[in-house]
Structure 1
């Protein structure tokens, strides 16, 4: 149990460090790529993409048979980053859940 807790605490501190030191857009891309990896892990047939262009970051594709698109502006990414190292993750998963996309289905 101690090893797992240390791993969780280490991962949380790494994410907090990233949130503190990366620009908001770079942090948002990292978070979206983590979500992308999880979606593909739970649905190997998923087609999930992360694009960065201009002043936006875009997570889109199809997972669990459902198309989705989540678009963030740089200022929105900055606001989510300011809310905490996992606030953007929670937002993205909540948006995906609204479309019926959930991990482990």
Structure 2
């Protein structure tokens, strides 16, 4: 669950980051866990670079939690995809489900 107290400080920790590179890092950080639980992890993006203004620490924690929750609750086999769409929304999905995650 996202920490609503962060809404009071929006703008104080916002910076421009490349969401594609950001999601590559999330995938790299969570691949060992996914792999040991029987999943393959992949990344889909619409661009090779996607600059966006976000709170990096908030996005990092939230994205990792979405991936971890998918690993815990999807039964232990298959592929988990981290996707960045044209609206800069990060989704974590399996073949059966889609967990819309973070919008910039």
- Does TM, scored on the shorter chain, surpass 0.5? no
Higher relative helix content: 1
Of Structure 1 and Structure 2, which has the larger fraction of its residues in strand?
2
| TM-score, normalised by the number of residues in structure 2 | 0.34
Q: Bigger radius of gyration, 1 or 2?
A: 1
